[in-house]
Structure 1
Amino acid sequence: MGKPDNDKDGAYETDLARLQLALVRYQQAAMKSGEKALVIFEGRDAAGKDGAISRMTEHMSIRATRVVALPKPTELETSQWYFQRYVPHLPSAGQVVIFNRSWYNRAGVERVMGFSTPAEQEIFLRDVPHFEEMLVESGLKLVKIWLDISRKEQAQRLKERREDPLKALKTSPLDDVAQEKWDDYSAARNDMLTRTHTPVAPWTCVVTDKKKQARLNVMRHVIKTIAPEEIAASVEAPDPDILFPFQIDAVGRLNP
């Protein structure tokens, strides 16, 4: 079972520091070898993407690490090939790029909110596995993470956002419909994961109601996936009750 999400004995901070050190060691090796990695964070609103990313990157190189969170496309960008505005942000040798939401907007928020047409969404779901296969074949290490949260916990976190002035910059008009359109987001998620989970670019799912434990397990997974063996071996495996590979016949492990 997953560990309690508390830090009474300092265990969380100890584990966090150890995992951050492993990420620093990984990045030192990657900058020397020229390896490049792309980590995609997707998930429901308030599922903890920002917190997980900030803990991951806290001690990583500013020059070799980029966090990309693109705004809504401009009029010019909407006329381009859909993937075009993402390509310039892909990593070069020795770099780690983290997408805080990505091209999967087309299969998620755009579908639920009607920001693109059903035909455009279908083309995306058909094309993205091939696009990601080309990225991997080019030598890029690709990690795709879906962060899931219960409806009750999401409601609580969205409430905290609205009431805490320090979280004002995290609020979005889309927050107002996250609960209202919960079922629509569930359907979009299930379709997206099922159709874009491939052997070359698999999805990994994280249950994030226990925020601290989710962060630690995300970091363990990333290290295990992209770091050299000697570094990966120094980190324990993720808790399978919190983080697990997506399985097409096991969508029920995610929140309905």
Structure 2
Amino acid sequence: MRVSVSTLLALPLFAVSAQAQFEQYQDQLQTYLNKFASYIPNTNRVDAADAAEAKTGEKKMSVLTLDNWQQTLYEPVAPGTTQPEEWWVLITGRNKTCFGRCDQVNAAFNETAIKFATLPESEVPHMAYLNCDDQPVLCNIFSVGPASLWAMDMLPPGNEINIWGKRLNTTTTTTQDLLDLYADKEKSEFKLVTHVFHPFNGWFAQNGLSVAVAYVLWFFTVVPNWTIMLLVSFASRSMMNRRMPGQ
């Protein structure tokens, strides 16, 4: 195969042109990414004042976040105990994740927490809530959405944790309904959580992948399709430009 002198002389010009085009494309991608970054919601939002008031006020309720959820749930568990500490966790949301329909459930849960707070701790569950509008990644770790109630039997770290879940009716749930649920010690209206996303016993949690997978799932819910296509196109262009010098 013959290669002419003109072809050899043109190769550096081609490389310079390809590099310039690649840099232009890279600048364009960066512009799009900077613009998109301004629209990315906070994945770990919490109002510290509201959380403190909920915990120390009449409800005695904890607010679960991506930073504190494990510490909070394990906090009342005595080392070496075989008697589980029960938690009730309301998974709720506002307009984005619950379409503004969780007010009834929230009110019933808050009233129940107030009633429980007047009783001895040994007779009632610890109370907490998780807002999926504020904590979308944590909701993905739990693999649950509003309006759901989780009853969790917490044992020391290293033990399997039983979780029972129940979907709550967003229009009819009352405080009395929740009190009746707690009175049913057999949890006949709950369903045992056994899927791979179980935050303690599931395959992802056991292999330390829960947070990574949760972020991936969250990413695909907030990133527009055109951004993903742009990233794929950029990656393919980058690979082609890297291969060109050796061809």
- Tell me, yes or no, whether TM beats 0.5: no
Could you say which structure has the larger radius of gyration?
A: 2
**Which has the bigger relative contact order, CA under 8 A and spacing at least 6?**
1
| TM-score where L is the length of structure 1 | 0.29
| TM-score where L is the length of structure 2 | 0.30
